[in-house]
Amino acid sequence: MDRKWWKQAVIYQIYPKSFQDSNGDGIGDLQGIISRLDYLEKLGADALWLSPVYCSPQDDNGYDISDYQDIDPMFGNLEDMEELIEKAGKRGIRIIMDLVLNHTSDEHPWFKEAIKSKENPYHDYYVWRDGVEGIVPNGLRAAFGGPAWQWVPELGQYYFHQFSVKQPDLNWENPKVRREIRDMILWWMEKGAGGFRLDVIDCVAKDPDRLITADGPMLHDFIQELSRETFQKGDLVTVGEAWSANPENALLYSSPDGRELSMVFQFEHICLDQKRGGEKWDLAPLPFLELKRVLSTWQEALFCKGWNSLFWNNHDLPRIVSRWGNDKEYRVESAKMLAILLHGMQGTPYIYQGEELGMTNVRYDMEDYRDIEILNMYRERIGAGYKEEDIMESVYAKGRDNARTPMQWTKGREAGFTEGSPWIKVNPNYKEINAEAALADETSVFYLYQKLIELRKTYDVFADGKYRLLLPEDPDIFAYTRTRKETVLLVICNFYGNTVRLQLPEEFDREKKLLASSYRDEGPADVLKPYEARMYLIRP
């Protein structure tokens, strides 16, 4: 079977601003990452996906890029980047760059030119509509609040921005834009980038007049062209962020012929705990049977025809142990359960920094939050008359800063993240939850992740096994098998904090080898303790 390297790989996401500061300015940087390569190698990461480190005014923490081919001084410089690629490479670790191709910063030289006049050669790099002040071209809204159109009086035009006002959308219909992007990617490939994550790639082919933001008619043509001219020239991993992905179009995105990308991040499971038709802030309990159905559908739909990404966390999502686990009395057990549940599936797992420590959400005062999305939402909802305590509950549950608090390295000052004062407060639980403590405890969440990564490399059933959901109607247990020839991987997880009885079909009354579990001692076979997870291998 044709097996690309990334089908057995585990990718670790670094949010550079919050990972490790090396110069005391309170902001993580590239030298900080280099200083932690031992740790990452010990965990077993095959590749590091770095959230953007390019020059940026940081309106959206680097997702607003003003120079794609240089490093923001707060993170270091190009030599540091080259050093990171080289030093990681020596350990067999690849560096995955984050490509933000849907928009630039309004401080990017292209936009600074574009805004000068309608005749400027860069004007058509962005999306403009003639208009009248105060009457927006249409009702499209920006993801961070307000209309998706910004008035420029000197031009008598609006520009289109799906995110903040400082993130004007690029016009992909313009072949010059696509050529610039291609050349920039080839330049990073020359520099040794091992892959790319493509920010909101489903939004690039917008057609705002027809109110189309995601999944525009030209989307797959654009991606295929880009892939042909860049990614396919190297042995890269590529993952597109696609909030609109469904199991049908994911077959296109991740088609095994490599015409587009290696895989996409889909968000169907991530959106389950919000009110239907509402926003992520409109909280709803997780419908557990739906979670089983959604993840199973993706496992089945892409089998042999595409490839899944597997993730609970990233820099936009709350910490999974606080979200769907229990970050109090069962923090360790539930973090392990969630890891086992995900890592037994088919796809490429992503670990977000601190997930391997069981890092948790925070509850800060409003003034301690930094994220533009949180700040704008708070202002909008206060204005719309929401109760402040309800808004704060939403922030605690879903705010992106939950994931962006500094990495907890030690129980020392500022969790060992910085010698200065951090750009965002450290989670107060760092004295208990930190890497140093985890490394000193063989039963820690860290070592379970390490084991799961190793297992994926040891047994082919992880990459190739066919998925089958067991006990689909069970209200507490998520169980499934993966089968490759005669080998069966059996994963059983109690998703909740009560003790439950387990009754598996008779076919599993066989000798099983326990590969991983969330508890040290295996209790009676037919009882699952709170958040107990077991991963077995069955061989003839």
**Interaction site with ligand NOJ (CB under 6 A):** 60, 63, 100, 163, 199-200, 241, 315-316
Closest distance to ligand NOJ from the beta carbon of 324 (Å): 20
Task: Identify any residues that bridge with 12 across adjacent strands, giving them in sequence order.
Answer: 48, 351
Nearer to ligand NOJ, 315 or 336 (CB): 315
Q: Using CA atoms, how far apart are residues 81 and 87, in angstroms rounded to an integer?
A: 10
Nearer to ligand NOJ, 21 or 401 (CB): 401
Closest distance to ligand NOJ from the beta carbon of 455 (Å): 29
Phi and psi, residue 28, nearest 5°? -60, 160
241 is annotated as an active-site residue: yes
Closest distance to ligand NOJ from the beta carbon of 441 (Å): 32
Q: Report whether 513 contacts 537 (CB < 8 A).
A: yes
Nearer to ligand NOJ, 200 or 237 (CB): 200
Closest distance to ligand NOJ from the beta carbon of 250 (Å): 18
38 is annotated as an active-site residue: no
Sheet holding 533-538, edge to edge: 466-470, 477-484, 487-494, 533-538, 513-517
User: DSSP string covering 20-55, please?
Assistant: --SSSSSS--HHHHHHTHHHHHHHT-SEEEEPP-EE
Nearer to ligand NOJ, 45 or 239 (CB): 239
Helix residue ranges, H only, 115-240 = 175-190, 219-229
Nearer to ligand NOJ, 162 or 444 (CB): 162
Q: Using CA atoms, how far apart are residues 165 and 158, in angstroms rounded to an integer?
A: 11
Which residue is at the shortest CB distance from ligand NOJ?
A: 63
Given the residues 59, 106, 199, 414, the one annotated as active site: 199
Given the residues 29, 98, 241, 464, the one annotated as active site: 241
- Close Cβ partners of 358 (under 8 Å, ≥ 6 residues apart): 321, 327, 331, 332, 335, 433, 445
Q: Using CA atoms, how far apart are residues 223 and 203, in angstroms rounded to an integer?
A: 11
Closest distance to ligand NOJ from the beta carbon of 107 (Å): 15
Q: Using CA atoms, how far apart are residues 466 and 224, in angstroms rounded to an integer?
A: 28
Q: Which DSSP state fits 257?
A: T
Longest dimension (CA), the chain: 76
Q: 3-state SS of the chain: helix, strand, coil percent to 5?
A: 35, 20, 50
Closest CA to 534 of 322, 521, 328: 521
Backbone region of residue 61 per phi and psi (left: phi > 0; alpha: psi in -120 to 50; beta: other values): left
Nearer to ligand NOJ, 199 or 464 (CB): 199
Q: Report whether 150 contacts 159 (CB < 8 A).
A: yes
Closest distance to ligand NOJ from the beta carbon of 163 (Å): 4
Nearer to ligand NOJ, 163 or 430 (CB): 163
Report the catalytic residues: 199, 241
